[in-house]
Amino acid sequence: MALDLFLEELRRPAAGEARQQRLYRLLKQAIVDGRLGAGLRLPASRRLAVDAGMARNCVLHAYQQLLAEGFLVADRGGTRVASLPTPSRLPPLVPASGVLSRRAATLSASSRGEPTLPFAPGVPDLNAFPWPLWSRLLQDAWRAVGARHLAYAEVGGEPVLRQAIASFLGARRGVVCTAEQVFILPGAQAALDACARLLADPGDLAWVEEPGYPVARNTLLAAGLTVQPVTVDGQGMAVPDALWRERPPRLLHLTPSHQYPGGSVLALERRLAFLARLVPGEHWLIEDDYDSEFSHARPLPAIQGLRPEAPVVYLGTFSKLLYPGLRIAYLVLPRWAVDSFGQALGELHRGGQAVEQRALARFLDNGRLTRHLRTMAPIYRERQQVLRAALVLYFPGARIAGGDAGLHLVLHLPGRAPDTAIVAAAAGQGVAARALSRYSADGPGDNGLVLGYGMAEAAIIPELVRRLSVAAAQAEMA
């Protein structure tokens, strides 16, 4: 009877699945479910092929696969179902209340929205990138590929890219380093994770900006560190003296060039004050140079360059300069930490992307990246100016923050509608704003919107802001 029901199911038409695969899948499932019991003799391959209306080879392949996996056994009597635990004999499954670790439960969730929609923060103008040139550089790199470039990369990355980055950072950001101090990693999050695991131990204290970058905070939490949010004001992270005495950090994560999301620039006095507090072996300052690439005012030099031998790790990425999917970031370590960090990193991380790294090195060495930045800088400045004017028009009474660098502004909202509701309504209008309240580690923060203008052309920004105002009105009435 069970076999008859199985054959009836097998004869039903099923589009998009090969007959051999369907027979294998249905037989296996019927055995696992206990519908075909242990010891049941299956039809000979010829007979099953006729009954099921398929080629005998299909039946033979399915039988052979299930024999190899142990679901069937063959003897002189033919092919039989193996004796396996049936679901009725297995212990009952009770759904777990928490399917992930306690560490995972501490990670805050944030709605990112569609990254290529207008006003999505953290995305450059992907349409303006010189794709034909980049494609040629990749092709040139592939033509020069040898066996070494297809294996794991050496610790630290391709030497030509490490040298190119050292020269680029020295010229543009005042970073003082050699190529040996540069380490290439697959993205800023991987670079920060390496810092958390190699420069601190589980339970160590890490200071982060409040409000701050949720991905950075979550990365430190996932590495087992204890995170202490520290309030940010108009001049960057403001640390009370009592906090230094009572809860000194092992790691200190800063975005000094353009604080994310608030947009403030860490004052020079505070940069020097941090350097004066840092003690090698006790503290590490991670200088996340987020959004420094596009400065609309005179930029301050990197903290690392003010005191190159201090326990400062300079972190950067090419996500804004090129495109986020490239996944190439870098760390600059003090000279005295290079050997020990490199040895530990080699055990933690296996590098790759040799072809992309070599293409990027040529992009840097030939000055093409600098030219691309010079081309995009006035375009982004115009977009910011148009966005400011439209926000003043459609959101009177709201406060606009940021703008000295980077590709986003913050709109602080005085209304009653929560920013999360406005973001949800804006998605229906084709606008991907981000809720400012989601950037706070200590519960909902300030009510506002983080608006990126990297992917928004100046001509359409006023209409996009109008749609955003409609979404705010909808949220207000809800």
Encoded tokens for 248: 């000194």
pLDDT at 409: 93
Picking from 101-115, 245-259, 298-312, which range would have the lowest pLDDT averaged per residue?
A: 101-115
Q: Could you report the per-residue pLDDT of 166-191, keeping only the tens digit for each?
A: 999 998 899 999 999 999 999 999 99
CA distance 192 to 217: 10
The span from the CA of 451 to the CA of 273, in Å, is: 32
Tens digits of residue pLDDT in 261-270: 888 889 899 9
Q: Does residue 108 have a pLDDT over 70? A: no
Q: Say how far apart CA 432 and CA 118 lie, in whole Å.
A: 6
The pLDDT, as a whole number, for residue 43 is: 86
Question: Which of residues 227 and 294 earns the better pLDDT score?
Answer: 227
CA distance 445 to 459: 32
Closest listed residue to residue 175, CA positions, set 230, 112, 256: 256
463 or 5: which leads in pLDDT = 463
Segment among 73-82, 232-241, 420-429 with least mean pLDDT: 73-82
**pLDDT given at position 405:** 76
Read off the pLDDT of each residue in 433-437 and give the average, rounded to a whole number. 91
The average pLDDT across 388-411 equals 90
Look at residue 143 in the predicted model and tell me its pLDDT: 86
- Residue among 377, 370, 394, 371 at smallest CA distance from 451: 394
| pLDDT of 8 | 73
pLDDT, one tens digit per residue, over 225-257 is 999 999 999 889 989 999 999 999 999 999 998
pLDDT for 92 beyond 80: no
pLDDT at 331: 97
Region 17-42: what's the mean pLDDT? Answer: 82
Buried b (16+ CB within 10 A) or exposed e, 39-50: eeebbebeebbe
How far apart CA 464 and CA 456 sit, in angstroms, is 9
Gyration radius (Cα) of the chain, Å: 29
What SS3 class is residue 30? helix
Section 405-431 average pLDDT: 88
Contacts of 191 by beta carbon, 8 Å cutoff, 6+ apart: 183, 185, 315, 317, 329, 330, 331
pLDDT at 205 over 70: yes
Q: Which of 247, 252, 217 is nearest to 236 (CA)?
A: 252
Mean pLDDT of the chain: 86
332 pairs with which residues across the strands? 182, 314
Please say whether the dihedral angle defined by the alpha carbons of residues 419, 423, 425 and 430, taken in this order, is positive or negative: positive
pLDDT, residue 13, reads 67
Query: Quick one: average pLDDT of 12-31?
Result: 78
Q: How many CB atoms are located within 10 Å of the residue 301 CB?
A: 15
* pLDDT tier for residue 326 given thresholds of 50, 70 and 90: confident
- If you count them, how many residues does the chain have? 478
> Residues 145, 273: contact at Cβ < 8 Å?
no
pLDDT tens profile 112-159: 555 667 888 888 888 888 889 999 999 998 888 877 777 777 888 999
Q: What is the rounded average pLDDT of the residues 383-405?
A: 91
Give the per-residue pLDDT at 250.
97
Residues 6+ apart with CB under 8 A from 220: 192, 196, 206, 208, 227, 251, 253
pLDDT at residue 57 above 70? yes
For residues 406 and 258, is the Cβ–Cβ distance under 8 A?
yes
Q: What pLDDT was estimated at residue 193?
A: 95
Within 8 A by CB and 6+ apart from 113, the residues are 120, 423, 427, 432, 433, 434
Least confident window among 155-159, 299-303, 375-379: 299-303
Least confident of 180-189, 224-233, 354-363, 441-450: 441-450
Q: Which domains does the chain have, with CATH numbers?
A: 2-88 (1.10.10.10), 129-370 (3.40.640.10), 374-477 (3.90.1150.10)
pLDDT at 470: 92
**pLDDT at position 93 over 80:** no
